[in-house]
Amino acid sequence: MVDTPGDDDEKSPEPPKAPREPARWGDRVGRWRRGVIIAVVAVVLALVMLLHSRVPNRIGNLGSLLETFLPWAGLAIPVLAACAALRRSATALVALLVPLLVWLNLFGGLLLDKTGSGGALMVVSHNVDADNQDPAGTAAALAASDADLIALQELPQRHVATYEEALAAEYPYHTVAGTVGLWSRLPLSETTELDTGMGWTRALRTSVHTDSGEVAVLVAHLPSVRVQFRAGFTAEQRDDAAELLGRAIADEPLSRLLVLGDLNGTVNDRALAPLTSQLRSTQGAAGAGFGFSWPANFPVTRIDQILVRELEPVSSWTLPATGSDHLPVAARLDF
């Protein structure tokens, strides 16, 4: 049989494709083209941190929620860096410098140890927790702190006598109003209750008499906040109470002022601007680290504050856990 052209022609097999080589740092063009999505995410992260005050509160108080946990946004940076390394992307790694610099600008100062020695006045503030199962142990720990002033919040009436008994020997002066109280080694006078819009007393103002003159002390427990699926960050009562407390601070005639309390908000939270615009945070001025105070078993945020006006923070720190779900916060101050 004679083969005719075209009969039973078989196509010659195509040569197999060479496997794609993994990305290599030596590929100069590729390493700049890869990782664009990671770079974009890095820039967005930087913008969120830099413009956190522009994130609106109209929808579920999203801005305040972000500002409460803002330092933790920095955890995204090493995650993105690992992704950039896996992609061998120079573009992504360079882009990551932007959120890193923004984070350091916002919080780098807190990483420095600014604590000093001395201080004419030591103060402690503690939310003792209404459900505290060991109020006597908590009172004993606070008495051992050697503070000159001890401010308590969430103090139930059934436990007031326990704290009075435990603190009486070291703190001959004290005042209690509603669920807040102040124990002092120095004389107190002119104690008044402050309105926080809650219908019961959660804040007081008193004068402390020191050798260097009078100091106005405000002890406050602002309303709690919650994160709910439908309602978002429910902080309206807290925000209203902060406005009222801010007015009391603005109206305070004494120049030296000390605010001690569980404010249920961080100094980054715009809702506390009525206070933070008039006062300094001791942790920011004289602390070492973030000084997270809640929850006590694994603190992730600082909502317990010591704020001052016309007083000089020398050091600021947290005390060991007690039976409360908050850590006590402490500071030493000079006049």
Same domain, 86 and 228: no
Q: What is the pLDDT of residues 90-114, one digit of tens each?
A: 999 999 999 999 999 999 999 999 9
Percent of the chain with pLDDT over 70: 89
**Domain assignment present for 18:** no
Which three-class secondary structure string do you get for 25-43? CCCHHHHHHCCHHHHHHHH
Hunting for tokens 């100094």 — which residue is that? Answer: 267
CATH of the domain at 295: 3.60.10.10
- What is the C-alpha separation between 326 and 297, in angstroms, rounded? 8
One domain for residues 149 and 106: no
Task: Say yes or no: 46 and 188 in one domain.
Answer: no
Tell me, yes or no, whether 80 and 214 share the same domain. no
Where in the sequence is the domain holding 51, given as residue range(s)? 28-111
pLDDT of residue 297: 96
pTM: 0.88
Residue partners of 205: CB distance under 8 A and separation at least 6: 190, 191, 192, 193, 194, 216, 217, 218, 248, 252
Number of domains in the chain: 2
Q: HSE of 90 in the Cβ direction (CA atoms, 13 Å)?
A: 10
4 falls within a domain = no
Q: What is the pLDDT of residue 60?
A: 84
CA-to-CA distance for 274 and 272, rounded, in angstroms? Answer: 5
Instruction: Please indicate, yes or no, if residue 264 is contained in any of the structural domains.
Output: yes
3-state secondary structure of 82: helix
Please tell me whether residues 194 and 100 are part of one structural domain.
no
- Pairing state between β 149-153 and 121-127: parallel
State mean pLDDT over 38-67: 94
Average of pLDDT values for 304-325? 98
Residues 95 and 125 in one domain: no
pLDDT above 50 (res 125): yes
Instruction: State the pLDDT at residue 232.
Output: 65
pLDDT tens sequence across 161-201: 999 999 999 999 999 999 999 999 999 999 999 999 999 99
Pick from 111, 145, 178: which residue ends a domain? Answer: 111
User: Same structural domain for residues 321 and 255?
Assistant: yes
Q: What is the mean pLDDT of the chain?
A: 92
**Comparing 34 with 43, which gets the higher pLDDT?**
43
The reply to whether 92 and 130 lie within a common domain is no
Last residue of a domain, one of 87, 111, 135: 111
Tokens of 105: 């600008």
Q: Are residues 40 and 179 in the same domain?
A: no
Q: How remote is the C-alpha of 299 from its chain's centroid?
A: 9
Task: Name the amino acid, one letter, at 181.
Answer: G
Please check whether residues 207 and 232 belong to one and the same domain: yes
Tell me: do 267 and 139 sit in the same domain. Answer: yes
Last residue in a domain, options 84, 111, 138: 111
Provide the pLDDT confidence category of residue 234 given band limits of 50, 70 and 90: confident
DSSP state of 186: S
Q: How far is CA 73 from the centre of its chain?
A: 12
Q: What is the pLDDT of residue 1?
A: 46
Residues 49 and 160 in one domain: no
On whether residue 87 sits in a domain, the answer given is yes
Got the DSSP string for 293-332?
A: -BSTTS--B--EEEEEES-EEEEEEEPPP-SSSS--EEEE
Asked, for residue 236, whether it belongs to a domain, the answer is: yes
* Strand-pair partners of 233: 227
Residue 271: inside a domain, yes or no? yes
Residue 79 lies in a domain: yes
Low-confidence winner among 6-20, 47-61, 275-289, 290-304 (lowest mean pLDDT): 6-20
The verdict on residue 98 lying in a domain is: yes
**β-sheet bridge partners, residue 55:** none
